[in-house]
Amino acid sequence: MTTILLADDHRVVREGLRTLLAQEADLTVVGEAADGREVVALARTLRPDVVIMDIAMPELNGIEATRLIVAESPSIRIVALSMYADRRFVTQILRAGALGYVLKEAAFEELARAIRTVATGKPYLSPTVAGFVIEEFVRQVSTTASKSLEILTSRETEVLKLLAEGKRAKEIALELKIGVKTAEAHRQNLMNKLEMHSIAELTRFAIREGLTTA
């Protein structure tokens, strides 16, 4: 059973959501808040699994409220409920610690799915929002020109990945069960082949090539 705290400054919205959520056997609304301060206080006492958070709220907005709740109880998952698919809102509230972002124009079914997804610790974004995250990813990735991961051997690729993750030659040697000198040799060969002269450059190359993430 997933417990839910509703936060929205419009009473009708809260009542509507409460009614809809009552239809779902595995979801229970345990409280309601009409502003940012209230939701922070209630989250502390009620300790719900999930908070449905309106972004625009008096006293304290949803972003600040999210930040406070997550700082205090990281196990409480937040689903942002917003009217706008604006990238800035998405970025800000996700950075504040929300795991979900659902548009108010979405069907209730989607909100329910979002609640169940974030309850397990996984992120959920409304398709519109997810769509532009993907578009951005594709655009970003397709505009970066590059030549070759192909000129590297599989072992070199492996070493490059670990280097980019911040590992030292010693750690890499341990992880790959090879000598420290061998790991160093691989790094040296990487640098020669790629014509790079620092770990920072190798790291950026590895990220560009998708070997690891920033």
Closest to a copy of itself by CB, 21 or 206 = 206
**Is residue 99 near a copy of itself by the rule CB under 8 A?**
yes
**Is residue 179 near DNA by the rule CB under 7 A?**
yes
**Is residue 186 near DNA by the rule CB under 7 A?**
yes
Q: Which of 82, 124, 70 is nearest to 106 (CA)?
A: 82
Contact 66, 40 (CB under 8 A): no
Q: Which tokens hold the place of 145?
A: 């020109």
CA distance 138 to 180: 38
Closest to DNA by CB, 24 or 184 = 184
Contact 101, 80 (CB under 8 A): yes
**Is residue 203 near a copy of itself by the rule CB under 8 A?**
yes
**Is residue 191 near a copy of itself by the rule CB under 8 A?**
no
Closest to DNA by CB, 46 or 180 = 180
Piece in contact with a copy of itself (CB under 8 A), picked from 6-14, 104-112, 183-191, 196-204: 196-204
Among the listed residues 156, 160, 194, 205, the single contact to DNA using CB under 7 A? 156
Tell me the C-alpha to C-alpha distance, in Å, between residue 72 and each of 42, 53, 60, 173. Answer: 12, 16, 16, 40
- b/e code 151-183 from CB counts within 10 Å (16+ = b): ebeeebbbbbebbbeebebeebbeeeeeeeeeb
Question: Minimal distance in Å, beta carbon 44 to a copy of itself?
Answer: 19
Among the listed residues 30, 31, 73, 97, the single contact to a copy of itself using CB under 8 A? 97
Among the listed residues 176, 204, 207, 212, the single contact to DNA using CB under 7 A? 176
Angle between helices 180-194 and 154-164 (to 10 degrees): 100
Residues 175-183: contacts with CB within 8 Å, 24+ apart? Answer: 183/159
Site string for a copy of itself, 150-189 (x = CB under 8 A): -------------xxxxxx---------------------
Among the listed residues 133, 184, 207, 212, the single contact to DNA using CB under 7 A? 184
